[in-house]
Structure 1
Amino acid sequence: MEKFIYAPEIAKLGHVALVTKDLEKSLWFFKEVIGLEETCEVNGTHYLRAWGDFEHHTLSITAGETSYIDHIGWKAKRREDVANFARLLEDAGTEVRWIEAGEEAGQGKALRFELPSGHRFEIYFDMEKPAAAEDRKSVLKNQVYKSWAKGVSPRRIDHVNLQTSIDNNLIVNYLKETLGFKLREYLVNSDDKQVVGWMSVTNLVHDMAMMTKPSVEANQMHHIAFWMDNAQDILRAADILCENEVGFVGPGKHGISQAMYVYVKDPGSGLRVEIFTNSYLIFEPDWEPIKWSYEEYLKYGSTYWGDRRRDDVSRDQPVKA
């Protein structure tokens, strides 16, 4: 394997590319109810971002015969890291496909590859940061759009939660050893076998989670999460969802991550969306992953307090990734 002066690194979660079987409903949900802003539409793909997202898009939506996640984009820390990741991945036996600049609107050259689970990731560095139109522009120079202009109005994309039927340790170790993710918290089942890992490349508790369930396909998405500034924003979101007659679960608080949440589903694609706030940050370089037993998970981990109902929003009907 070629030696690098420094190991390539991922800086943050960039975007999620959603294909939906009902484009009209998905656009209504994400633009009017969630309140994302549309950057542009190119060849049938709509590129959206939250009012505090600087890059060209953090969510893209395209019409399809079925609903699925086409790929999940991650921004590299340095431009040269993209090519370095390509070499590292190929040396690890992972097939890499190059995406030319402009193939995805606003984005420079990138690479795509699949995890052992089949989830498709993309790593890029160059991405346009377009300004908002004058009628949508914030007066704050450190913010793109006017806040609270419409809908739930999250500040930014936060994390993704993936599902697989593949052994959890295999996928988590691949993410750690190949892509540099750090394991922050994890869950074991009644046989003391790891079934969920919460991982990050930033100071967040998780930029992504990987959940193993034998009953699902190898590559599915459990949810995408958007960040709210505080707990009051979660309560406001619940009111807005009620006003739009969109069912949801919550508000509640997780023990794992210590975050407050509301879960809601896009009526166009079926993709579960988490409206998310609070949580805690990790600054310790020698952080030891926190282990949760299944009994602890049921008592405190999933719902520390709040709504414990299990309806169509919380029932496991993930979107294929």
Structure 2
Amino acid sequence: MPPPLGDIAHLGHVQLRTPDPDRSLWFFTRMLGMTESGRAGESVYLRTWDDYEHHSLVLTAHTTSGPGRTALRTSSAQALEARVKALEDAGLAGTWVEDEPGLGPLYVTQDPDGHEIALYWESEWYEAPPGLRPGLKNQPQAKPAHGVGVRRLDHVNFLAAEVSPNAGFAHHVLGARPTEQIVLDSGRVAAQWLTFTDKSYDVVYTEDWSGARGRLHHIAFATDTREDILRAADLCLDNGVHIETGPHKHAIQQTFFLYVYEPGGNRVELCNPLTRLVLAPDWPLITWTAKERAKGQAWGLKSIESFHTHGTPP
């Protein structure tokens, strides 16, 4: 039986590796409007204005692009203990570290594909310095006066050599709930969307056509409105940021989106899924067939080739 929904409270933050740290930092701060909240070694810690924790993104200089650690906050100390036991019982034991600012101990493990996953409970709530204090006491930081002004980290989409064991890990070991999936005529699951919350998804596993393991398809940041995404497209065009596809709307999960490549080569999605929630406790897993997916996105645009072939690291 899967664990109770709720042991994992939400997606905490993700780490991206970049071979071009200066330009990547420019993209996330000047283009997306994120705030630097600290530095350590080769890493810069960044946050969106409406995330309550110390950081939403860890940007780390590296020889290549790709994902580092993905951190999930649990709903309590007891929930952390329960998920650690579930990991150990599943043969996926990890190690305890305490190496990130604003956080207590993290239990670091891997999913079956090799993506680094960390669980934690203790978290320091962000307190904005005088220049960033908001006008409303119920938001953690003032909205940025430049760039897109992304609101929060929304989801992460992992590439995997096989979707089923990784989605099964998220479902049965971590307690995520699958909401939608793509199943090919052969019966193979090509992608699955899972949620830890009442959002329609927090984590996605997508089949890596190259057969590689441990790669990233994209990370996504939510915006306040669809108009913010249209503004983002203009800003990217003005500043030489590669737009891969969009603005457009997905059929699966109905997300309005724009996909770009940050200067380090990682794909970043700007999305507006804020109006779609999964509130039904008995939500049925929605399955899309290969024939249905061949019709393209919700407004008829077929996915371009790079959307299926580009991942990081290359």
TM-score grouping bracket, smaller chain normalisation: over 0.9
The letter for the 2-side match of 1:74 is L
Q: Is the 8 A contact 1:251 1:307 kept in 2?
A: no
Any idea what SS the aligned residue of 1:172 has? helix
Q: Is structure 2 residue 304 aligned with structure 1 residue 310?
A: yes
Q: CA deviation at 1:315?
A: 5.7
Superposed CA deviations along residues 119-153 of structure 1, whole A, max 9, x for unmatched, are 11000111112212211221111122222421111
8 Å CA contact retained: 1:224, 1:272:
yes
Aligned residue number for residue 11 of structure 1: 9
Q: Which amino acid aligns with 2:85?
A: R
Match of 2:68 in 1: 70
Letter paired with 2:92: T
Counterpart of 2:235 in structure 1 is 240
Of 27, 32, 50, 1:52 maps to 50
Provide structure 2 residue ranges, at least 5 long, that are not aligned to the other structure. Answer: none
Alpha-carbon distance between aligned partners in 2 of 1:58 and 1:171, rounded to the nearest angstrom:
23
Q: Distance in 2 between matches of 1:311 and 1:136?
A: 42
Measured on the aligned residues, the alpha-carbon RMSD in Å equals 2.0
Task: Indicate the larger mover: 241-250 or 196-205.
Answer: 241-250
Matches within 5 A, 1:1-321: 9-100=7-98, 103-166=99-162, 168-248=163-243, 249-268=245-264, 270-278=265-273, 280-300=276-296, 303-305=297-299, 308=302, 310=304, 314=307, 316-320=309-313
C-alpha distance in structure 2 between counterparts of 1:213 and 1:70, whole Å: 17
What is the rounded CA distance, in whole Å, between the counterparts of 1:70 and 1:208 in structure 2? 15
Structure 2 length-normalised TM: 0.93
1: CA distance, partners of 2:67 / 2:247? 26
The answer as to whether partners of 2:242 and 2:262 remain within 8 angstroms in 1 is no
Distance change >3 Å, CA 160–CA 265, structure 1 → 2: same
1:25 and 1:306 mapped to 2: Cα distance? 34
278-287 or 149-158, which deviates more: 278-287
Instruction: Judge conservation of contact 2:218–2:266 (CA < 8 Å) in 1.
Output: yes
Q: Is the 8 A contact 2:5 2:176 kept in 1?
A: no
Distance 1:306 1:244 in 2: 28
Question: Is this contact kept in 2: 1:117–1:164, CA < 8 A?
Answer: yes
1:291 partner letter: T
- Runs of 4+ that moved beyond 4 A: 306-309
> Residue by residue, what CA displacement relative to the aligned partner does 1:77-113 show, whole Å, maximum 9, x if unpaired?
002222222222111111211012xx11111011010
CA contact (8 A) 1:82 1:110 kept: no
The verdict on how the C-alpha distance between 1:299 and 1:308 changes in structure 2, with shifts beyond 3 A counting, is: closer
What's the offset of the Cα at 1:308? Answer: 4.5
Greater alpha carbon shift after TM alignment, 108-117 vs 87-96: 87-96
Q: 1:213 Cα shift?
A: 2.9
